[in-house]
Amino acid sequence: MQAPVLVLNANYEPIHVCDLRRALGLLMTEKATLVVNGRGYIQSVHLSLPIPSVIRLQKMIHRPRPRLKLTRREVFRRDNFTCQYCGKHTPELTIDHVIPRHLGGQHNWLNVVTACPACNHRKGGRTPEEAGMKLLHPPTEPPASAQYIFGRHLDECREWAEFLAGW
């Protein structure tokens, strides 16, 4: 069973998603406590262990605020798997630099968008204005909220919603 487990800090702030094996290790060593068991039990000869969905660390972990890494997958997710020039949903999406790198454009959240191959080819190495194209939505850095970071797991783990709200 490879179900993800939400890890909460001591103050109930969501900080990580780990696998079941890691979560059970934290529970067995008493570094974490079970908050939600939404998946039943693991039976052994002498023991019955709950299959955790949400665990909480016993000690507070101090860490800097999370920032999303600029990756292809995160750009696709931010742009909802849609071409930002024509609005088409296609599995062959590409990454396009709004201001091409050879014209001084940076590789950052504010300059990359998803584009279908046809729009990316049509735009070429030009700016959208030079190519006569318009962006449907201006690129922005996605929020580093818990809802956005861990939200991709909410379809399979609905019980996480109350722990992600407000962070």
Q: pLDDT per residue over 75-117, tens digit each?
A: 998 898 999 999 999 889 999 999 999 999 999 999 999 999 9
The domains of the chain, with CATH numbers, are 5-64+144-164 (no CATH), 72-131 (1.10.30.50)
What percentage of the chain has pLDDT greater than the value 70?
Answer: 97
Question: The tokens of 114 are what?
Answer: 């998803």
CA distance 89 to 13: 35
Please tell me the predicted confidence (pLDDT) of residue 96.
95
Please tell me the predicted confidence (pLDDT) of residue 134.
94
pLDDT in tens, the chain (167 residues): 578 898 999 988 888 888 989 998 999 899 999 988 877 888 888 888 888 989 999 999 887 777 788 999 989 988 989 999 999 998 899 999 999 999 999 999 999 999 999 999 999 999 999 999 999 999 999 877 777 777 777 677 777 777 777 66
Q: CB–CB of 160/167 below 8 Å?
A: no
Please tell me the predicted confidence (pLDDT) of residue 104.
93
Question: The tokens of 38 are what?
Answer: 């939404």
Please tell me the predicted confidence (pLDDT) of residue 50.
83
* Reduced 3-state DSSP string for the chain: CCCCEEEECCCCCEEEEECHHHHHHHHHCCCEEEEECCCCEEECCCCEEECCCEEEECCCCCCCCCCCCCCHHHHHHHCCCECCCCCCECCCCEEEECCCHHHCCCCCCCCEEEECHHHHHHHCCCCHHHHCCCCCCCCCCCCCCHHHHHHHHCCCCHHHHHHHCCC
Q: CB–CB of 17/7 below 8 Å?
A: yes
149 backbone dihedrals φ, ψ, rounded to 5°:
-65, -45
